[in-house]
Amino acid sequence: MPIVIAISGKRKSGKDYCTNLIREVLVQKRFDVSVAGISHSLKMEFAKKHGLKYEELLTDGPYKELYRKDMIQWGEEARCKDSGLFCRAAISSTMDSDIVIISDCRRRTDYEYFSANYRTVTIRIETSEEDRKQRGYQFVEGVDDAESECGLDDYKFNLVIKNQSGTDLSQQLNMVTEKISRIIDKLKLPINKE
Ligand SMILES: Nc1ncnc2c1ncn2[C@@H]1O[C@H](COP(=O)(O)OP(=O)(O)OP(=O)(O)O)[C@@H](O)[C@H]1O
Ligand SMILES: C[C@@](O)(CCOP(=O)(O)O)CC(=O)O
pLDDT tier at 190, thresholds 50, 70, 90: low
What is the rounded distance in angstroms from the CA atom of residue 106 to the CA atom of residue 114? 12
What is the rounded distance in angstroms from the CA atom of residue 34 to the CA atom of residue 40? 14
13 marked among binding-site residues: yes
152 within ligand 2 shell (Cβ under 6 A): no
How many angstroms does the Cα of residue 61 sit away from the middle of ligand 2? 13
The predicted model gives 102-106 an average pLDDT of 97
10 marked among binding-site residues: yes
Instruction: Check residue 124 and report its DSSP letter.
Output: E
Contact 191, 32 (CB under 8 A): yes
Residues with CB under 6 Å of ligand 1 are: 9, 11-17, 60, 135, 163, 169
| Domains of the chain by residue range | 3-186
pLDDT in tens, 53-73: 999 999 988 999 999 999 999
SS3 (DSSP) at 36: strand
- Report ipTM for this prediction: 0.98
Q: What is the pTM of this model?
A: 0.94
The predicted model gives 95-111 an average pLDDT of 94
14 marked among binding-site residues: yes
Contact 131, 166 (CB under 8 A): no
pLDDT tier at 191, thresholds 50, 70, 90: low
How many angstroms does the Cα of residue 60 sit away from the middle of ligand 1? 8
The predicted model gives 85-97 an average pLDDT of 92
Residue 176's CB is within 10 A of a number of other CB atoms, namely 20
pLDDT in tens, 1-50: 899 999 999 999 999 999 999 999 999 888 899 999 999 999 999 999 99
* Residue 26: half-sphere exposure toward Cβ, Cα within 13 Å: 28
Sheet-wide strand order for 119-126: 33-36, 99-105, 3-9, 119-126, 159-162
Superfamily of domain 3-186: P-loop containing nucleotide triphosphate hydrolases (3.40.50.300)
Q: Which of 88-92, 114-118, 171-175 has the lowest mean pLDDT?
A: 171-175
Contact 97, 34 (CB under 8 A): yes
Contact 92, 77 (CB under 8 A): no
What is the rounded distance in angstroms from the CA atom of residue 73 to the CA atom of residue 66? 13
Q: Pick the atom of ligand 1 nearest to 16's CA.
A: 18
pLDDT tier at 188, thresholds 50, 70, 90: low
Number of H helices and number of E strands within the chain? 9, 5
pLDDT in tens, 128-177: 999 999 999 999 999 999 999 999 999 999 999 999 999 999 999 988 88
The pLDDT value recorded for residue 176 is: 86
**For the chain, how many residues are written?**
194
Residue in 134, 105, 132, 135 with CA at minimum distance from that of residue 120: 105
pLDDT at 194 over 50: no
The pLDDT value recorded for residue 179 is: 84
Residue in 117, 36, 121, 48 with CA at minimum distance from that of residue 84: 117
